[in-house]
Structure 1
Amino acid sequence: MMKSLAQSVFFSTLITLIDPIDCFQIPFLYKSSSSDAFQLQHAVHVGPFHQKRIRLRRDFNHHDRQQIDLLSQLADGQASYSTTLNLKTKFDTIWSHDKNLQKWKIAQKQQILIDRNLKNLQNLTQIFISNNLTTKSQLDWKQSSVEMPDSTDIQTLANLAKMTNDAYTLPGRNRWYDPDGLWNLSDSFGWENDGIRGHIFAKPDNSTIVIAIKGTSAGVLGNGGPTSAHDKLNDNLFFSCCCARVSWSWSPVCDCYNGANKCRSTCVENALLDKSVYFPAAVDLFNDVATMYPHSQIWLVGHSLGAALAGLMGATFGVPTIGFEAPGDLLPARRLHLPLPPGASFGKGQEKSSVIHVYHTADPIAMGTCNGALSTCSVAGYALETRCHIGQSIVF
């Protein structure tokens, strides 16, 4: 008992909740309301933006989970962690809406129109004020008490991080299928190279679902896995100041550079929406899971690029989110003009979201210091120039 208490006190001195202005400790001796087991249920793959978006699913039954758990105990196993993980939970009040995708798309288009016109004070008319109110009411934001992961519990954070691992596979037994019957996978060579993938964990009664989004398959000279090239494209779109146009020697990912350290902001915003295969895919992935589980509470977790995508989804759909080691996601959130609850704004933790980022001070990507000509990120071709995160941060 004393050892457990000592560990809690020790960790409470290590982890702080960081606000751009204030800094205060999380009370790690807080007692959670309950602890629940979450099992791996599905893997969902949402393909690229071109043509008709491919949506694939792979279901895991009890026998699959037993095999993966057995492999996880082997030193050279294909899976790294158990398929059943315990999470402590608590109830808290958050802002959320009904998560209707069509309403959200309308609200985002309205928000883009409002934000772009508000840049010019001459266009600040009653029409745009009216549109702003319409945007807020369109999504029917409301405060409600929901069950969410207890971010003050170390083991819960560790188990959520394990969920973001992408090694929940069985060699030689993919068993992917298309629920809509639109694709013949044998004719869709290369689909694994595109899009994003999420593992879905659920309580036994499916009352709560966790979507764990895969992160960047980083690599130098093509050694980062099948999705590495597309991950780099999206990283450079999301987290660079201007299309990864760091210097004349770089190949920019969009044509928005305007010379002399200038960048056409509207051009970059359009590139994020039109060229980024991952943000629209993440929205579709979230919508697919919400459709599969219409009566379930949804949580989001992710690692690296997956954590940033989870944070963007969590802020705009109003769901509990915990991301691990994400690059700064505040800049892409602003550029995407994500609809927020009434009275909320981006920056200084004012998004009224339940998004929490977890990272440590030795991580240059999350800290925003992995830039410069000689940095490992730059050498690998990643222009990660953002630093600030949305929501709150737990920093080791």
Structure 2
Amino acid sequence: MTFPIINNHHPNPFPTKDSQTFTLKHIYHHGTGAKNYKTHKRLDITPQYLTKHAHQFNEFVNVLSQPRPHHNGKVVPSQEFLNLDEIYQQLDWPKVHHGKNPYTIELPIRKSSKLGTVQRLTERHTPNFIDSYLSYAHEVKGNPQVLNRINLEWDDKVKIEIPDVNDKDTLVSLATISSNAYVKFPLDQDEKDKSDWIDVGDYIPDEGNVDLNFGWEDVGLRGHVFVSNDNKTIVIGVKGTSGGVPGGGSDETGNNDKINDNLLFSCCCARVGYMWTTVCDCYEKTYTCNQDCLEKELLKEDKYYQAALDLYRNVTSIYDPNEVNIWVTGHSLGGAIASLLGRTYGIPAVAFEAPGEMLATKRLHLPQPPGIPKHLENIWHVGNTADPIYMGVCNGASSTCNVAGYAMETACHTGYQCVYDVVGDKGWRVNLLNHRIHTVIDDIILEYNDTAPCFEQPPCRDCFNWRFVSHDDDEDDEPELPNPLRPKPKPKHSSSSSTSSSKSKSSSSSSISTTKSKAATVPTDKPEKCLERTWYGWCLKWGEDDGSDDGDANDDV
């Protein structure tokens, strides 16, 4: 059986030297939640895969190609078109691409004629480095003076290729990749006991429970990876919120999406009222929240930020980040995650209709060179003034977000904002339906002659009426925390050799004095020692010295 060739050319292709054609090559699914966060699989969109499922794809495309029945301007809800309506709702697929197969579509993207400038961590791709940095930054509460003392190495400002966000066709293609991340494979019941997904994580689930539904109905974060025709540029599209919010596609991961939405974009665990179920235990009393608790929740392994880090690492395991350009994009929640990922690794990110993610950026203490201006972040937020989520006004007792159980309380974005003023230009009213990605593509980007101008957001502060506290703020002494890049000094009574002693003194001089910690002020007869290190010397785990000789060699690394 041969797979049919479908005309997937963009309506306005541009034959320039800076244009490239991108096609879907891989789909990653990273499990989240208490039970599934160790599950991570990859689906390769190969010619063999497309041929194997050609029958389902043909039916899929045929349905997408059919006109939607109307009568007096309204969609006819006839039984024969129920599946069609479900597919349109499921995909949120733009009209400009109707009739095109989401798995074989070719998307032209132009790189900017002007290179971007970036400054990022030198060791960002070293195994465990980012996790160790984030853990330590959480311990010292992101204090920049303390973080500067551990002598983090930053690459010099370098030039990198970035997408041309001033090009309409490029924005449409990036938005289409964001929309593609919602696409589910048309299930084939005859193939239910077979799966094309490949394990790429450490955890292997019960194979008896794995079928074609995996990746589409399992809880987790999904990333659709598009690769340029010259294999030199990768675009990762991160899936946004499913279900609940109009325009979110199907609801296969809706509950878990809502948990992460409410954690990332609320002031305190979605504590809106006493009748709300909070998503963490950080709320203390009226407009008072535990800051340390919030930061710890965001870093948990079963949450989306950690899943996004793993997704990026799996992509870079097959595409060397030193040899290829990696860009990220996404819609809504997916756009915010893409922005956080871009900031972490210093890669270009284009987000569509994303909620304000500046608050999450600060709570995660994402790496930032001292004094870096916003134009070096290479993050762009595309939105419109009639989208209450993007504008940060989808809150309050009568809002649709509130009714649906979403506490969308943030409005501040990082990087640049590229805003289409459809309220002023077209007279649109603020409505949650304007948050949909296909509305953004068909009725906004393609309807304007030019792309929206991009600018830095004026000074902005979220949750100004909340008080965020830390329970070690009242300690009198300022304890010393070990420098995670160097070994902890050994106690004076240690029986180590003079060589070890001299190393301890050297390490002691580089210990860091930081913010207060209760645990560090508790007296103990046994000094702490490094129990586990990365191969390059970063201490991952500190514990009490049990008096044994095990691990002494590690202490002298």
What TM-score does the superposition give when structure 2 sets the normalisation length?
0.58
Give 1:62's aligned residue: 47
Q: CA deviation at 1:220?
A: 7.1
For structure 2, the 5+ residue unaligned runs are 1-14, 67-83, 421-557
Matched, 1:251 2:235: no
Three-state SS of the structure 2 residue aligned to 1:197 is strand
How many pairs align? 350
Tell me which residue corresponds to 1:28. none
Shift of 1:142: 3.0
Aligned partner of 2:152 in structure 1 is 136
Residue 376 (structure 1) aligns with: 400
Q: Is the 8 A contact 1:49 1:281 kept in 2?
A: no
2:299–2:305 Cα contact (<8 Å) kept: yes
Tell me what 2:305 maps to: 279
Match status 1:84 vs 2:84: no
| Pair 1:233 & 2:233 matched | no
Q: Distance in 1 between matches of 2:256 and 2:166?
A: 34
The reply on whether 1:300 has 2:316 as its aligned counterpart is: no
| SS of aligned partner of 1:218 | coil
- Separation (CA, whole Å) in 2 of partners of 1:351 and 1:214: 26
> Which structure: larger Rg?
2
Q: Secondary structure at the match of 2:158?
A: strand
Alignment check: 8 A CA contact 1:234 1:276 kept? no
Aligned twin of 2:315: 289
Q: Residue 41 and residue 220 in structure 1: after superposition, are their counterparts in 2 closer, same or farther (change >3 A)?
A: closer
Alignment partner of 1:87: what SS?
A: strand
Shift of the 129–369 alpha-carbon distance from structure 1 to 2, 3 Å rule, reads closer
Higher relative contact order (CA 8 A, sep 6+): 1
Confirm or deny that 1:199 pairs with 2:224: yes
How much is the aligned-residue C-alpha RMSD, in angstroms? 2.9
Name the counterpart of 2:358: 330
SS in 2 for 1:247: coil
* Equivalences for residues 1-396 of structure 1 within 5 A: 34-50=18-34, 53-62=38-47, 71=61, 74-75=65-66, 76=84, 80=93, 81=97, 82=100, 83-90=105-112, 91-97=115-121, 98-115=124-141, 118=143, 129=145, 131-134=147-150, 136-137=152-153, 140-165=154-179, 166-167=182-183, 169-172=185-188, 175-179=196-200, 182-187=204-209, 192-219=217-244, 225-274=251-300, 277-294=303-320, 295-344=323-372, 350=374, 352-396=376-420
Q: TM-score, normalised by structure 1?
A: 0.80
CA shift, 1:264, in A, is: 1.1
Q: Percent identity?
A: 37
Does the aligned pair in 1 maintain the 2:20–2:229 contact within 8 Å? Answer: no
Q: Residue type of the partner of 1:308? A: A
Aligned equivalents of 2:107, 2:136: Cα separation in 1: 41
- C-alpha change, 1:32 and 1:391, in structure 2 (3 Å) is farther
Provide the residue aligned with 2:487 in structure 1. Answer: none
Which piece of structure 1 moves more, 269-278 or 81-90?
A: 269-278
Distance 1:32 1:265 in 2: 50
Over 3 Å counting, the alpha-carbon distance change for 1:267 and 1:144 in structure 2 is same
- Matching residue's letter, 2:326: I
Shift of 1:360: 0.3
Post-superposition CA distance 1:70-112 (Å, at most 9, x none): 8175234787445210001123222234533412122222322
Most deviating of 311-320 and 78-87? 78-87
Distance 1:32 1:364, change over 3 A: farther
Aligned with 2:234: secondary structure? strand
SS at match of 2:199: coil
Instruction: State the alpha-carbon separation in 2 of the partners of residues 188 and 355 from structure 1.
Output: 37
Q: CA deviation at 1:224?
A: 5.1
Note if contact 2:260-2:304 (Cα within 8 Å) is conserved in structure 1: yes
**TM superposition shift of 1:375:** 0.2
Give the Å deviation of 1:193.
2.8
Structure 1 unaligned regions, length at least 5:
1-30, 119-127
SS in 2 for 1:136: coil
